[in-house]
Amino acid sequence: MQKTIKKSSKIHIRRGDLVKVLAGKHKNEQGVVLKVFPKEYRALVKGMNMISKHIKPSAENPKGAIEKKEAPIHISNLMFVVADTGQATRVGRKLNEEGRLQRYAKKTGNFIK
């Protein structure tokens, strides 16, 4: 019996990209992607989807604490923002002059660095 391998679809954003949040309490806000989780199809965006994490008391921190940190957002709720124009756009892939696949902004047609 063969194992089936679940293949995740291509992710259109990467760490360091400027993105716009499309849904949720941070709708229409922009932020930078800190980390991408391809298997979960989620990403951390700086300053978005903040949660409170309770930290147990320890030798370093005898009182304990409540720490605010970002929680992952589903990638379908994020859209890439072109840095030059500031408008949100879909992302595609096409061959560049060197013959390698590179991401490009569908609204402007320019390659993404």
Render pLDDT for 65-92 as a digit per residue (tens, 0 to 9).
999 999 999 999 999 999 888 999 999 9
For residue 105, give the nearest of 85, 82, 77, 86 by alpha carbon: 82
Average pLDDT over residues 88-104: 94
Q: What is the reported pLDDT for 5?
A: 65
What value does the CA radius of gyration of the chain take, rounded to a whole number of Å? 18
Q: What is the reported pLDDT for 113?
A: 84
The tens digit of pLDDT for each residue in 4-45 reads 766 667 889 999 999 999 999 999 999 999 999 999 999 999
State pTM to two decimals: 0.81
Task: Map out the domains of the chain with their CATH numbers.
Answer: 18-88 (2.30.30.30)
Residue 15, classified by CB atoms within 10 Å of its CB into exposed (0-12), middle (13-18) or buried (19+), is: exposed
